[in-house]
Amino acid sequence: MTGATGTVGDAVTEFLLERGASVLGAVRNADDAARLRAGVEARHFDFSMSPAGLDQALEGCDQLFLMRPPAIADVKTYLFPVIDAAQRRGIRHIVFLSLQGVQQNRRTPHYAVEQYLKSTGAPFTSLRPNFFMQNLSTTHAAEIRDDDDVFVPAGRSFTAFIDARDIGRVSAAVLTETGHNGRAYTLSGEQSLTYRNVAGILSDVLGRSIHYRRPSETEYLSRLRKQGKSDDYIAVQKMIYRIVRFNISAFPNRSVRRLTGHPATTFREFAERERGAWKS
């Protein structure tokens, strides 16, 4: 599986191992291999490998969990060959970590990957998650921890956040059960929250006042520029939060419960579990 040492990938491996599956974790070097969860076998892999190298990396695999590294925008050059190699190796199922609403957003790399999977006739399932709760404990952790501020240009919109661990649980179910080929699942939490709600929950859990002051898009993008973020990163953030303000990410569902038998994690449960991310 690709992305095995990341937030989602680690959760996928955890729940695959819990189900008794054998897992090969794609790694670029020994440092990455050392970060794999116990019980996962390291396998050298890089998206820039030659076709022969990709074939070798996939030897002995019967399924593939495929996710796009954020740094890779040119999926035709770097992800399409992996799909081709999976087809040559006879892999019977590819689970692709896509994006919520991808079917209406043709400019995203995820859309191109989904279309290529369809065009090749690959047996695949597309997982389309909503905003990760982990964005608040990673990308936005410092401003919450140091400034007691949730600084995103979301206006008064709602978001049905999902816990990355729930994505891992769903992925493991889809990879170890039948009946999912050709399906696409939108994965959202079961509650829809404003960022003011999020700040209130964090205030309760952390025992101090966390604020959401509804910064404008201009204020948010200006901060990113001052932080030295790339133009591509800023453009993606601009697009993401415009989608949020249109409430496209607002709709909860019970896909996690239906696919795994477990209810989706609530934001309060997540905040209690991850409170260390915001402790000074």
Q: At 162, phi and psi to the nearest 5?
A: -125, 145
- Residue 50 banded pLDDT, cuts 50, 70, 90: very high
CATH code, 229: 3.90.25.10
Q: Does 98 reside within a domain? A: yes
Residue range 66-86: mean pLDDT, rounded: 94
Q: Rounded CA gap, 58 and 49, in Å?
A: 12
Same domain (yes/no): 83, 167: yes
The CA distance from 170 to 243, in Å, is: 25
Q: What is the mean pLDDT of residues 3-23?
A: 96
DSSP-derived letter for residue 190 is S
pLDDT confidence bin for 164, thresholds 50/70/90: very high
Neighbour count for residue 97 (Cβ, 10 Å): 23
Statement to judge: residues 157 and 62 lie in one domain: no
Residue count of the chain, please give it: 280
For residues 224 and 241, give the distance between their C-alpha atoms in angstroms, rounded to a whole number: 13
Tell me, yes or no, whether 73 and 173 share the same domain: yes
Has residue 114 got a pLDDT over 90?
yes
How much is the average pLDDT of 35-46? 96
Domain coverage including residue 139: 132-162+189-250+265-280
Query: Same domain, yes or no, for 63 and 201?
Result: no
* pLDDT of the residue at 240: 84
Same domain membership, residue 106 and residue 202: no
Cβ atoms of residues 252 and 266 within 8 Å:
no
Q: Is-contact 25 8, C-beta < 8 A?
A: no
C-alpha angle 116-133-109 in degrees, rounded to nearest 5: 20
Based on the domain organization, do 41 and 60 belong to the same domain?
yes
Q: For the chain, how many structural domains are there in total?
A: 2
Which residues, in sequence order, are CB contacts of 10 under 8 Å at separation 6+?
Answer: 4, 37, 168
DSSP structural state of residue 261? S
* pLDDT tens column, 232-249: 788 878 888 988 999 989
**Which residues fall within 8 angstroms of residue 177, CB to CB, at 6 or more apart?**
none
CATH code for the domain in which residue 47 is found: 3.40.50.720
- Is pLDDT above 90 for 130? yes
**Tens-place pLDDT, residues 79-110:** 999 999 999 999 999 999 999 988 887 888 99
Cα separation, 5 vs 138, in Å, equals 15
Please state, in angstroms and rounded to a whole number, the distance separating the CA atoms of residues 198 and 250: 14
Whether 177 and 95 map to the same domain: the answer is: yes
Task: Assess whether pLDDT exceeds 90 at residue 2.
Answer: yes
pLDDT number for residue 216? 96
**Helix, strand, coil percentages for the chain (3-state, nearest 5):** 45, 15, 40
147 with 49, same domain: the answer is no
How far apart CA 128 and CA 75 sit, in angstroms, is 17
Q: In the predicted model, what is the mean pLDDT of residues 201-223?
A: 97
CB contact at 8 A, 207 and 143: no
CA angle at residue 206 from 202 to 209, to 5 degrees? 70
Any domain includes 2: no
